[in-house]
Structure 1
Amino acid sequence: MRVGYLNGKLNRKLRIVFVTAAVAFLGLFQIAAADSYKLNPGDEVEISVWNEENLQKTISVLPDGMISFPLVGHLQAAGKTASEIEATIAAKLDAYIADPEVNVTVTSTRGNVVFVVGKVLKPGPIVMIQSTTVMQALAMAGGLNEFASANSIKIIRRSGLEEGAKETVLKIRYSDLEKGNDLSSNHILNYGDVIVVP
């Protein structure tokens, strides 16, 4: 009886340790994912400087990828992570504040958008709240309509935000993806990609 009681107690402790470890790992994974996210035009960040009430702002990333912050001026935000922006702002504020402690939090990723056009049931912009593939985006667009040319789908991808940025075309063979024969064209989408379904 005593052995059974001790085993039950030990099992409960092991379960608690396992659950705690799993929650900690998930938290670290989410932190790592958030820290690696690169901002896009239309995203929103909250910037605060510790102990400086006048240096707290919620800012949207402008279409040209820039943001503006007091004492810092304009700086490039698109294509950078929150921690990179923290470091840039802290370096610029160092001339005015001793050891500034800057915190940048991404509060909205609504700028992380791709577009699906052509013969799908729900064409238009799709906000990516996580890493998204072509097949996932097409599913979010309601799938292909009956007149779509399934094996002529393409992604138009720009190399950057600047005017004259190079555009490349990636071809998609939908029938291969649908059958699971060849998944090599199930590309992970980038901000600004346009999926064209003729």
Structure 2
Amino acid sequence: MKIMNLWAFILFSVLLAGCASSTPPLMDNPDAESKGYLLDAGDTVAINVYGEPDMTMKFILDKSGTIMFPYIGEMVLKGKTPEQVGAELTNRLRGDYLQNPMVTVNIAEFRKFFVSGEVKIPNGFAWEPGLTVEKSIALAGGFTDRADRKEINIRLAGTNQLLENVDVRHSVHPGDIVIVGMGFF
């Protein structure tokens, strides 16, 4: 009798664990999104070199992802985190130009994501950490009267893959296109 109860307990535990792990998370961790954010075309970057107003500036990254920085020349920012860019600038300015440079690099404005289809204000909007489909639709003024609230798709940036009928809690990333379909009455 004890062996049968033990087997029933093990079977129940395995089934319960399988059910719990079968649902993927819908929204990524917003803190992790902003900390590991890689710069790309469309991002506006603010660089501040303490005590050097001529070196404090903003750049909008173009497709090449490079900037021309005073005393250094061309520098590639695309594919790097703001922290990596700050460390590289500090190292390249140290010595010949400044004794102990203090450099901060911040994202002044994230690159855009887009909302199209049956929303009141279809447009591109600056991405922000923790962005979901629901928040993106709110930024676009909400659904129109003709919107099919169940037919929401996302065209992923970079891959052009289409995710169909996503949940409103699904995360949206920079460059993604949220597409709200039209309902037929």
- TM-score per shorter chain, which class? 0.5 to 0.7
Q: Secondary structure of 1:150's match?
A: strand
Instruction: Show the counterpart of 2:160.
Output: 167
Higher helix proportion (structure 1 or 2): 1
Distance in 2, matches of 1:196 and 1:33, equals 22
Q: Spell out the pairing of 1:5-154 with structure 2 (5 A cutoff).
A: 36-40=36-40, 41-48=42-49, 50=50, 54=54, 56-64=55-63, 65-94=65-94, 96-97=96-97, 100-106=100-106, 108-109=108-109, 111-154=110-153
Aligned amino acid, residue 43 of structure 1 = T
Instruction: Show the counterpart of 1:158.
Output: 157
Match of 1:195 among 158, 178, 181: 178
Distance in 2, matches of 1:146 and 1:85, equals 46
TM-score by length of structure 1 reads: 0.61
Q: 1:104 Cα shift?
A: 2.0
Instruction: Show the counterpart of 1:22.
Output: none
Give RMSD over aligned pairs.
2.9
Q: 1:33 Cα shift?
A: 8.2
Conserved 8 A contact 2:71-2:97:
no
Conserved 8 A contact 1:46-1:57:
yes
Q: 1:32 Cα shift?
A: 8.9
Aligned amino acid, residue 178 of structure 2 = I
Conserved 8 A contact 2:132-2:170:
yes
How many aligned residue pairs are there? 149
Q: 1:89 Cα shift?
A: 1.7
Q: Secondary structure of 2:47's match?
A: strand
- Compared with structure 1, are the counterparts of its residues 150 and 34 closer, same or farther at alpha carbon in structure 2 (3 Å cutoff)? closer
Bigger relative CO (Cα 8 Å, ≥ 6 apart): 2
Q: 1:107 Cα shift?
A: 5.9
Q: Which runs of 5+ in 2 are unaligned?
A: 1-30
Distance in 2, matches of 1:69 and 1:133, equals 35
Q: 1:38 Cα shift?
A: 3.8
Aligned amino acid, residue 70 of structure 2 = P
- Compared with structure 1, are the counterparts of its residues 78 and 61 closer, same or farther at alpha carbon in structure 2 (3 Å cutoff)? farther
- Compared with structure 1, are the counterparts of its residues 105 and 34 closer, same or farther at alpha carbon in structure 2 (3 Å cutoff)? farther
Conserved 8 A contact 2:127-2:173:
no
Aligned amino acid, residue 46 of structure 1 = I
TM-score by length of structure 2 reads: 0.65
Distance in 1, matches of 2:56 and 2:179, equals 38
